[in-house]
Chains A and B, each alone.
Chain A
């Protein structure tokens, strides 16, 4: 999280932190384990009132920013989501709201997302063998004044709760994005199981789904830059959330090391363990640093934004999961029980590692970005 917050940002962060302290307690997360939606609609509406969904939306469309960058402000909320392993489709709803607003879409659609009365989600990733980060096989064909959608998207966050689907597909050689009502004919959902207690995903199947051409965001076949922008937003939020979960798990484990005695000494007194904590503290600070730097770069659209956001995902994906596993190891057997709270954060970081490109994919992406900068000698 940012090292220095303005007083407005601090108030904003603290308001959500206190709301989540009250409304996303571990008992509630455990209860939601068996809830099909994974979050309560009233909880989400109240969160929306605190600004969870308005930060990537332009002022014209009813958005609000705390500082000069709504995206950076939103990382504060994502961080608190991670710290609390909080329920709710924060990443997908914001990506969709931001995309709709940027494309100048119907304000009524955006208004529902803003006040939390409706949920939007992004149908982006696909299943193997098209599960690579840049691999879009989903077909969007133009037929007269209609678009016809065919293909399968997975995993799609909170698809069963969403009323609007932002679908990314291919039209010939280019990418196209359309906004589709979830109730449209030809759409079928299959709920997925997953590692997180409250985050829900579905396989969404489109069989000859027809929408009017007016549903296109931007232009047919020319959505690549918008898709990249959405991907960067999703990565920034996912990274900030993972860092929040890392921070909380690390604090829990440091506290445990002071309180837990074996052979008459606290764990924190063993040099072999102290050094492991030192490494974890380093991974954690490095993760904060690259997460914030990538968020700033994406917000300001600097030329190195794509590189920084991939470096952040590669690093946090890798070391976030390692940090959590170290926390488990340092807790011993209690760390792999359902009773202990540590797994709530392990789940969140594990999910974040896998979504929107694994660390290995982002490392390859970085290599390609480096190659683009290099002029062959």
Chain B
């Protein structure tokens, strides 16, 4: 292969030919809402299998891992190429579930901190759709305070023995590998005694329990690690230096769709264009001529277009170093507030059929369920309150909140009175 970077036009043509010949167009119905529990397990597993297949097809077509170096199976191209791919994928299926958390933060963490052997083994497997990764990060005892992890890892010769519980892993029941933050030293301060590990999820010693959400979804899981034994070769980064990895991990998580590692077709963010979805609801309700309804449709579309523009700006800013890495929190805060507002708008437009419906109600039905789940958009992936802390403290440089746990040995840090879960 030559060292010359493929031209954007040539790349676009190649992507377009592959996409039109091999991928299925998406209908709006299938992307109407990410918050609905409307799939059976069999359908979910079939979707996962199809996504692995699509990922493999993209790998074979030279379209997987656009910004991943060639030595790990990627294309070694630029964020501009990724943007071209995103544009060309508009309206087509793509491996949704593989993007977050597999490509970011997990793949990003592997590329940044994994050993050469770890990268060579796992990065190509991810690009081929053979490995879907999950984050074993949050714990029942600490939500956004992830550095307060209580899951312990104790060294035993060439092995580590892990015990504890992780929670809020999406789809751990159909995933392959986990990236895990664990405590390896309780006698030093909170951030100084952590280490990062990886392991296959289907290991003896890991019990995956599915959590039923209030909308009936069972995608989220909680895992119980009981004397899980893993080799030292599964450790990522140095012992007790896990927070160095962890803070970058957090960054890559906040990058989410802004990450150049993530494939995200344009215009197919949730609901296939908020304006179009709201239009469909208002039409079903016979409210298209109502100026109030038109204003709500326009507001949803405004948030959609502004959100896309902001995502591109932050992505560009971080890539070109004109913005700090921490600016990704701005995108996170915007998305949380915009999505919650959109859920409210949809519910408002749907009227009473949003709360009580029959099958014949079509586009009017079920929006109340999304409304019930609304705050998930401001909680998952780090709460909007955490994002607001990061923006004020790390972007604007305002004084940090008092952290009484910083200078104590972790075993002496006060904890919640009753550990939930």
Contacts and interface: CB of A to CB of B under 8 A. Distances in A.
B298 A285 contact: no
A293 B301 contact: no
B269 interface: no
Given A3-B316, A275-B388, A275-B392, A285 B294 contact: no
B313 A292 contact: yes
A332 B27 CA distance: 52
A367 B298 contact: yes
Given A274-B393, A364-B294, A367-B275, A289 B306 contact: yes
A366 B317 contact: no
Interface in A272-310: 274-275, 277-279, 281-282, 285-286, 288-290, 292-293, 307-308, 310
A39 to B, nearest CB: 32
B320 A3 contact: yes
A193 to B, nearest CB: 30
Nearest to A304: B305
Contacts of B401: 271
Contacts, number: 147
B279 interface: yes
Interface string A244-278: 00000000001001100000001011010011011
Contacts of B399: 266, 268-269
A314 B298 CA distance: 9
A78 B93 CA distance: 41
Nearest to A274: B392
B421 interface: no
A290 B310 contact: yes
Nearest to B327: A285
A311 interface: yes
A312 B141 CA distance: 42
A293 B312 contact: yes
Interface of B is mostly: helix
Contacts of B395: 281
A370 interface: yes
Q: Which of A278, A314, A315, A369 has the most CB of B within 10 A?
A: A278
A288 B314 CA distance: 11
B391 interface: yes
A278 B295 contact: no
Interface string A357-377: 000101111111111011010
A362 to B, nearest CB: 7
A4 B398 contact: no
Contacts of B396: 254, 268, 274, 277-278, 281
A363 B294 contact: yes
A368 B389 contact: no
A314 B302 CA distance: 7
Interface in B322-363: 322-323, 327, 329-330, 333-334, 337
Contacts of B392: 268, 274-275, 277-278, 281
Interface residues of B, number: 50
B297 A367 contact: yes
Contacts of A371: 279, 288
B301 A286 contact: no
Interface in A114-145: none
A307 B330 CA distance: 24
Q: How large is the interface on A (under 10, 10 to 19, 20 to 34, 35 or more residues)?
A: 35 or more
B387 interface: yes
B293 to A, nearest CB: 8
A3 B322 contact: yes
A4 B301 contact: no
Contact of B298 (A257, A258, A268, A365): A365
B156 interface: no
Contacts of B334: 282, 285-286
A158 B330 CA distance: 39
Contacts of B297: 363, 366-367, 370
B306 A370 contact: no
B276 interface: yes
B127 to A, nearest CB: 30
Given A314-B299, A363-B299, A288 B313 contact: yes
A311 to B, nearest CB: 4
Nearest to B297: A367
Contacts of B393: 274
B288 A285 contact: no
B291 interface: yes
A278 B385 CA distance: 10
A290 B379 CA distance: 26
A315 B306 contact: yes
B309 interface: yes
Closest 9 CB pairs of A and B: A363-B298, A274-B392, A366-B298, A367-B294, A278-B388, A278-B391, A367-B297, A370-B275, A289-B313
12 contacts: A3-B316, A269-B399, A274-B388, A274-B398, A275-B385, A278-B387, A285-B327, A286-B309, A286-B334, A315-B306, A364-B294, A374-B283
Interface of A: 3-4, 254, 257-258, 266, 268-269, 271, 274-275, 277-279, 281-282, 285-286, 288-290, 292-293, 307-308, 310-312, 314-315, 360, 362-371, 373-374, 376
Interface of B: 273, 275-276, 278-280, 283, 288, 291, 293-299, 301-302, 305-307, 309-310, 312-314, 316-317, 320, 322-323, 327, 329-330, 333-334, 337, 385, 387-393, 395-396, 398-399, 401
Given A271-B401, A279-B333, A307-B305, 12 more contacts: A4-B322, A271-B389, A282-B391, A285-B310, A289-B309, A289-B312, A292-B309, A293-B312, A363-B297, A364-B295, A366-B302, A374-B283
